[in-house]
Amino acid sequence: MTTAAFAPFEELAETLLPHAFDRAGNGDGSHDTSHLQRVWKNAAAIHAEEGGDAQVLFAATLLHDCVAVEKDSPLRVRASRLSADKAARVLASLGWPRTQIQAAAHAIEAHSFSAGVAPATLEAKTLQDADRLDAIGMLGVARCFYVAGRLGRALYDPADPHAAHRPLDDTRYTLDHFQTKLLKLASGFQTATGARLAGIRHARLQRFVDEFTDEI
């Protein structure tokens, strides 16, 4: 596996990638190596303008999904905490200083939308922004429908696509997920750079919804 996409931390990537996913894997193409590459690209772009500890940020990026929990699992709200705990053990085994381990673990725990943990450090804010950038824009659209297909959800409710006369239910209808989550993400970015990039992708996301609506 090439690590060139993880420059300038190619060597650290070789060390951490074997720990980046559960041993057995869960076949989730929305949380695979390409997702890590994209999140790191986003994180590096934010870091270039905002600063922070690049090594902590990189380790947190590589390990932020290292414990796989399905989207519809009751354990979903604990997924980032489980990943943070595993990442701390991995980094400790590599002899990392306690302060950097704690910083990486906090960034991992706080990146999750479901966890509801407020990011308290620049690295945590950067990772949360970088991960959420991959959930909006055209990549967000692709990942949303990919996950919905894995979970057996319908594209939309043919009787009431926009939930005008029913409660939104993204456990059944994929289009509802845009209203319950995806279209809300851009307003919650933590860094100025992340917010700027989010504005561009949010416009693409809204355009998709508008054009999808026109076609149905």
Task: At 74, list the tokens.
Answer: 């009751």
Contact by Cβ (8 Å): 53, 123: yes
CA 119 to CA 112: how far, in whole Å? 10
pTM: 0.90
What fold characterizes domain 135-216?
Hypothetical protein af1432 (1.10.3210)
pLDDT in tens, 80-115: 899 999 999 999 999 999 999 999 999 999 998 777
CA 11 to CA 128: how far, in whole Å? 24
CA 118 to CA 212: how far, in whole Å? 34
pLDDT in tens, 134-164: 999 999 999 999 999 989 999 999 999 999 9
Domain boundaries, the chain: 1-117, 135-216
Contact by Cβ (8 Å): 77, 114: yes
